[in-house]
């Protein structure tokens, strides 16, 4: 199967996974990226089963609206029944790296508001140790150089993602050469650097379930 076919398979599996959890007044959290886009497209087929969605990016909000799905402001919602999104890496604890699409901060907010995070990913995202994928860090533009120097002190090699401005008006540093042995510790440490909005480690609050697309079918994995 191609990577896109694996993404489609997990997106389809996510629809089946969430269906029993939905009621007429349910609001769903919806993520960002190519896997999330497949999920959004399938979500259109069951839009009569829920009330609306909160999106983790302007792009996903536009895609949802195009399908006739109501998109709500996160501030008007007290709880999301479920959040479905992709990832750049996952380990066996379902600690994730996210933010390849620069939506990490809104993704973390949607995750925080959701009762359950269903991660959908093709098998290439499964790793023993997080960090081969450069860790995205969203930074207030004025603090870019300072934050980069602090990230070097932590052993990483930060690279400015040229030309990218997040939906929140900030910039992204992608941190290479990290071997993330303690994801919760590093997530906390990086978030303490002044000027950091957030980083792409989803470890303190990781995924609750991972639907992983493999050539042997979609595996349903829970945190070790």
Q: What residues line the site for ligand 5RP (CB under 6 A)?
A: 31-36, 85-88, 98-104, 107
Angle value at C-alpha 87, between 85 and 91, nearest 5 degrees: 125
Whose Cβ is closer to ligand 5RP: residue 101's or residue 131's?
101
**Nearest approach, Cβ of 166 to ligand 5RP (angstroms)?**
9
CA–CA dist 91, 221 (Å, integer): 11
Write down the catalytic residue from 16, 45, 89, 107: 107
What would the two tokens of residue 86 be?
A: 């992709």
3-26 core/surface letters (b: 16 or more CB in 10 A; e: else): eeebbbbbbbbbbebbeeebeeeb
**Nearest approach, Cβ of 120 to ligand 5RP (angstroms)?**
8
Collapsed DSSP state (helix, strand, coil) of residue 133 = coil
- The residue written with tokens 């992608």 in the block is 174
CA–CA dist 76, 79 (Å, integer): 9
Whose Cβ is closer to ligand 5RP: residue 194's or residue 201's?
201
**Nearest approach, Cβ of 187 to ligand 5RP (angstroms)?**
15
107 is catalytic: yes
Whose Cβ is closer to ligand 5RP: residue 101's or residue 158's?
101
Enumerate the active-site residues.
107
């Amino acid at each position: 199967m191609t990577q896109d076919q694996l993404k489609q398979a997990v997106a389809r599996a996510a629809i089946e996974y969430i269906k029993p959890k939905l009621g007429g007044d349910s609001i769903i959290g919806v993520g960002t990226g190519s896997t999330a886009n497949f999920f959004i497209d399938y979500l259109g087929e069951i839009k009569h089963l829920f009330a609306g969605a909160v999106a983790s990016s302007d792009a996903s909000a536009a895609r949802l609206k195009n399908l006739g799905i109501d998109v709500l402001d996160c501030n008007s919602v007290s709880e999301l029944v479920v959040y479905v999104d992709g990832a750049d890496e996952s380990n066996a604890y379902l600690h994730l790296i996210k933010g390849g699409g620069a939506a990490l901060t809104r993704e973390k907010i949607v995750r925080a508001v959701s009762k359950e995070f269903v991660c959908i990913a093709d098998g290439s995202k499964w790793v023993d140790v997080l960090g081969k994928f450069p860790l995205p860090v969203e930074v207030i533009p004025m603090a870019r150089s300072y934050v980069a120097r602090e990230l070097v002190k932590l052993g990483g090699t930060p690279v400015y993602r040229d030309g990218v401005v997040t939906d929140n008006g900030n910039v992204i540093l992608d941190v290479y050469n990290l071997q993330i042995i303690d994801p919760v510790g590093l997530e906390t440490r990086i978030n303490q650097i002044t000027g950091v909005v957030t980083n792409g480690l989803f470890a303190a609050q990781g995924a609750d379930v991972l639907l992983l697309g493999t050539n042997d079918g979609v595996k349903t994995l829970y945190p070790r």
